[in-house]
Structure 1
Amino acid sequence: MENFSVYFWLGYGHITDLAALDHILFLLVLIVRYQPRELLNILIVVTLFTIGHSLTLIVSALQLYQPSKVWIEFFIPITIVITAVSNLVALEKKSAKLARWTSFFFGLIHGFGFSNYYSMLTESTDSFWSALIPFNLGIEWGQLVVVAFILGISLLVQNLLNYKHRDWLIFVSGGGFSLALWLALENAPF
């Protein structure tokens, strides 16, 4: 049980660490399109993202397929750029199906990013399988904490500061776009 706790908190720390800004930023632009009261839609897109990244975490960690780390570090911020642009393009019309599928697909890309860290953790030990579930659960718990924080900030901004959801969406998506574009250019492999 001690190993479970260690890998759980390593997964949690990986997603909540400010060094994982790209993953936090993705969650931010992913769920900002929804009102805080649209909890079911938020849970669906976050769960699809989770399924996607869990699949590629396993595939990559088992060394069934391992894309270039350089390209993954470039494509992760590109997923944020695309999601932010999607938010801005679809200001008035929410395309729930498109958001769900892009969330899953982008989760696949982010999973390869998680797998680099996971592979380093289990490279010199026999704990690959025993660490997989607690590490993934730690990531999920961390994501839920990040989502709860984002929803709390959204509620505060929209209710106490009287921002309209549309204005908050534009502000967050624009900021997310700018920061992610900077990250993408910084990590560009060309």
Structure 2
Amino acid sequence: MTEFFIFLQLGYQHITDLNGYDHILFVVALCAIYRVTDWKKILVLVTAFTIGHSVTLALAALRVINYSTELIEFLIPVTIIFTCISNLFHKSSESVLDTESFSPLRYILALGFGLIHGMGFSNYLRSLLGKDQNIIPQLLAFNIGLEFGQLMIVGVSMVLSFVILEGFHVKKHTWNTILSSFVAGVAFKLMTEKWFF
């Protein structure tokens, strides 16, 4: 197996690892207000998050920027809680045929929060890389692996949403409230464990 595929696999495993479930929670929170029929909006939203975390993942892994690891570990659950709170104020359409409204602010936040999550990813990546090597191929492979894992999480989240909404006839607003509240509760526990101040 080539080094490229090794780092691709490491990126995939890192985001799907249940021991580091904070990133999984964030992706689930991002998708909570959407239906399967909103897949285009989800794709744009996830792309905004990807752009954000790709930038800081690269800058941090290349040691262009420095930051407090403790602060980033605290801010990651804060981004999850903030996303969940914004979900609770979202007015969902109950019609299966309707798609959710487009909110540019949501995409801007996903991009901004992606910057924070990228620094969180970089802690793990930097531990794998040597200081004197050309790390661009490894960085690219790791990021592609992260995206594969992220898309898998989105897929599972959307299938679960479809089953709950269509199979059990749960109202969209109710499901959004339950899912966002649960994720926020878990993130709050994470935040208190990573308390920075």
TM-score of the two chains, using structure 2 as the length reference: 0.92
The superposition leaves residues 109-131 of structure 1 with CA deviations (integer Å, 9 ceiling, x where unpaired) of 00000011110010367251220
Whether 2:195 is the aligned partner of 1:172: answer no
Task: Give the superposition deviation at 1:162.
Answer: 1.1
Task: Give the superposition deviation at 1:96.
Answer: 1.6
Whether 2:73 is the aligned partner of 1:66: answer no
Task: Give the superposition deviation at 1:28.
Answer: 0.5
Q: Name 2:162's counterpart in structure 1.
A: 155
The superposition leaves residues 4-43 of structure 1 with CA deviations (integer Å, 9 ceiling, x where unpaired) of 1100000000000101210000000101111121000000
Question: Of residues 127, 131, 137 in structure 2, which corresponds to 1:130?
Answer: 137
Q: Name 2:39's counterpart in structure 1.
A: 39
For residues 137 and 104 of structure 2, what CA distance do their matches in structure 1 show?
A: 35
The superposition leaves residues 42-91 of structure 1 with CA deviations (integer Å, 9 ceiling, x where unpaired) of 00010000000000001111111121000000000000000000001223
SS of equivalent to 2:195: coil
SS of equivalent to 1:162: coil
For residues 173 and 122 of structure 1, what CA distance do their matches in structure 2 show?
A: 36
For residues 124 and 40 of structure 1, what CA distance do their matches in structure 2 show?
A: 40
For residues 52 and 64 of structure 2, what CA distance do their matches in structure 1 show?
A: 16
Provide the aligned C-alpha RMSD in A: 1.4
Q: Name 2:120's counterpart in structure 1.
A: 113
For residues 112 and 32 of structure 1, what CA distance do their matches in structure 2 show?
A: 24
**Greater helix fraction, Structure 1 or Structure 2:** 1
Moved over 2 A (4+): 90-95, 123-127
Do the aligned residues in 2 keep the contact of 1:66 with 1:112 (CA within 8 Å)?
Answer: no
* Structure 2, gaps ≥5 residues long: 93-99
**How many pairs are equivalent?**
190
Letter in 2 for 1:115: S
**Percent identity between the two aligned chains:** 38
* Structure 1, gaps ≥5 residues long: none
Do the aligned residues in 2 keep the contact of 1:28 with 1:147 (CA within 8 Å)?
Answer: yes
Higher mean Cα deviation, 84-93 or 180-189? 84-93
Do the aligned residues in 2 keep the contact of 1:16 with 1:24 (CA within 8 Å)?
Answer: yes
TM-score of the two chains, using structure 1 as the length reference: 0.96
Task: Give the superposition deviation at 1:151.
Answer: 0.6
Q: Name 2:52's counterpart in structure 1.
A: 52
